[in-house]
């Protein structure tokens, strides 16, 4: 596997994460128009699961950095004829691509890709990890609070099926944040500390809501959307219970009226659309790193 691939949050040290977040912030201002100093970079985005934010924020980041971009979808590739992921990527490697961004429903799909020599960025694998979502979440929290250490974070909803929950648990605990989980009992996960959502709200600096992942088999057979919102969603009553400077986050897509009251999506304490803006910054930083460029902080004037 190529050095600087980004496969799992657990592979990153605190220093790696800080470098990525610092670079992302610099892409917001000092290096807004920075482009890759290479004659050409061919990026291939391979999405074997649906995506709007991750796919098109990567695409925006790639174009802004001066890459040439190809989109490869599972349903129109030779995967439908039985070709394996490894053989698909080896083929694209032979075609001259320099970077692979991959979303796949298989947990740790990258374990079968040891012999691929093009850097790989994981754009979400099964229920396991969503590193770039986690990094943009960390950036959003750091912008709000100036630090991650000691933050109180409650993540609520479909914990069992959420790669966002697992990536954030790994990274936030690495930085000494306090992370707890709430939601229906059916979706609790071993090793994830469960709490009562209403009790956690006044304690939390960050309330992160999650979508019910019906495509991964999640269902609450007898519960209406309205009941779910009342029991486990971010509604107006819970919003009033939040600390003054606490924030609501959600990786999106969100279902208005299910895990969040539609009126709260753009409320003062919500950072949901800001997270999407940060997505492009973080993905620029991750692409730059994957292609072997050092953090901006390591560049020195001659």
Footprint of ligand CP on 112-131 (CB under 6 A): 124
Footprint of ligand CP on 55-114 (CB under 6 A): 55
CA–CA separation, 278 and 256 (whole Å)? 22
Which ranges of the chain does DSSP label H, i.e. alpha helix? 14-28, 53-64, 85-94, 131-145, 163-174, 197-200, 225-232, 236-241, 272-290
Q: DSSP letters of 254-293?
A: --BTTTB-GGGTTSTTB-HHHHHHHHHHHHHHHHHHHTTP
Stretch binding ligand CP (CB under 6 A), from 13-21, 76-84, 198-206, 248-256: 248-256
Check binding of 52 to ligand CP (CB under 6 A): yes
Stretch binding ligand CP (CB under 6 A), from 62-70, 110-118, 247-255, 265-273: 247-255
**Contact with ligand CP (CB under 6 A) among 253, 262, 294, 297:** 253
Residue 25 CB partners (closer than 8 Å, separation 6+): 139, 143, 281
Q: Which is nearer to ligand CP, 109 or 293 (CB)?
A: 109
**Contact with ligand CP (CB under 6 A) among 45, 54, 168, 235:** 54
Q: Closest approach of Cβ 54 to ligand CP, in Å?
A: 3
* DSSP state for residue 209 in the 8-state scheme: E
Q: Strand, coil or helix: what is 216?
A: helix
Q: Which is nearer to ligand CP, 254 or 293 (CB)?
A: 254
Number of residues that bind ligand CP (CB under 6 A): 10
Q: DSSP letters of 1-18?
A: --TT-B--GGG--HHHHH
Footprint of ligand CP on 133-192 (CB under 6 A): 133
**Contact with ligand CP (CB under 6 A) among 134, 248, 251, 284:** 251
Q: Which is nearer to ligand CP, 26 or 278 (CB)?
A: 278
Check binding of 26 to ligand CP (CB under 6 A): no
Q: 46 forms bridges with which residues in the sheet?
A: 72, 102
**Contact with ligand CP (CB under 6 A) among 252, 264, 272, 290:** 252
Stretch binding ligand CP (CB under 6 A), from 73-81, 250-258, 264-272, 284-292: 250-258
* DSSP state for residue 295 in the 8-state scheme: P
Structure tokens at 199: 């009790």
Using CB under 6 A, list all residues that contact ligand CP.
51-55, 124, 133, 251-253
């Amino acid at each position: 596997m190529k050095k600087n691939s980004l496969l799992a949050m657990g592979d990153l040290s605190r220093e790696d994460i800080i470098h990525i977040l610092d670079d992302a912030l610099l892409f917001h201002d000092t290096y807004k128009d920075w482009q890759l100093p290479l004659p050409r970079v061919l990026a291939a985005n391979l999405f074997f699961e649906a995506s709007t934010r991750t796919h098109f924020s990567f695409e925006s980041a790639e174009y802004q950095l001066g890459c040439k971009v190809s989109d490869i979808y599972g349903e129109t590739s030779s995967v439908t004829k039985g070709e394996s992921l490894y053989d698909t990527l080896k083929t694209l490697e032979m075609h001259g691509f320099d970077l692979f961004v991959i979303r796949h429903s298989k947990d740790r799909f990258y374990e079968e890709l040891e012999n691929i020599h093009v850097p790989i960025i994981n754009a979400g694998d099964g229920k396991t990890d969503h590193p770039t979502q986690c990094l943009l979440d960390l950036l959003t929290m750091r912008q709000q609070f100036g630090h991650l250490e000691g933050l109180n974070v409650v993540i609520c909803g479909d914990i069992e099926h959420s790669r966002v929950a697992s990536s954030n648990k790994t990274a936030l605990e690495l930085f000494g944040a306090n992370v707890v989980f709430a939601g229906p009992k059916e979706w609790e996960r071993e090793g994830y500390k469960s709490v009562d959502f209403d009790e956690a709200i006044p304690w939390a600096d960050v309330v992160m809501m999650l979508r019910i992942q019906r495509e991964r088999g999640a269902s609450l057979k007898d519960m209406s959307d309205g009941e779910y919102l009342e029991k486990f969603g971010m509604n107006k009553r819970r919003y009033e219970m939040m600390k003054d400077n606490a924030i609501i986050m959600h990786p999106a897509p969100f279902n208005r009226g299910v895990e969040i009251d539609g009126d709260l999506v753009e409320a003062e304490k919500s950072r949901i659309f800001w997270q999407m803006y940060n997505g492009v910054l973080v993905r620029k930083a991750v692409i730059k790193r994957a292609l072997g460029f050092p953090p901006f902080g390591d560049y020195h004037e001659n």
